[in-house]
Structure 1
Amino acid sequence: MKSDGMAVNQKHYQFAPVEPIEILQMYLDPKEFQGFLLGNVLKYLLRLGRKDEAGKEVDKAFQYLLWLRQAVNGENINPREK
């Protein structure tokens, strides 16, 4: 099955009960974490179609944008939620 690029479907992030995005949220202050998320949104949009399929990169950017909205609202990220 082809991956859609979403973190919830990436096996290389699912090797432990706590995923890297959760650890980052634990250890970075809220502004640093929001900056990390925004940086990833921009990264995937700016390289659109140059590394992976454009749709896959849009999916990744969208995932980070959803997480950014959660972080801005003071919510904890759960990467296993769709």
Structure 2
Amino acid sequence: MNLNCKPGYGHPDKRNCQRADVDALAFTLEWRCQDCGKLLGKGNGFQMHIRRKPAEFLASFPITAKCPGCGALNVMDKN
């Protein structure tokens, strides 16, 4: 999936991508910290989109992450 197709991403000349690509695999499933509820990422069932400034990336399952808010270790497996 090309994240540059989403509004606000990428170079201004390349923002007019086909919207069908983005809508088909929308990242709508929220992954929240099990202790404090902070949003860790958004998934689409196949990958997880994680954004922590200045880094942004897509990860495959299973995923382990330390919460930037409370420090709890969180694990997400494909459901």
Same fold (TM over 0.5): no
Per chain length, whose mean CA-contact separation is higher, i.e. which structure has more relative contact order (CA < 8 Å, sep 6+)? 1
Place the TM-score, normalised by the shorter chain, in its bin: under 0.3
Higher strand share: 2
Structure number with higher helix proportion: 1
Rg larger in structure: 2
TM-score (norm 1): 0.23
| TM-score normalised by L of structure 2 | 0.24
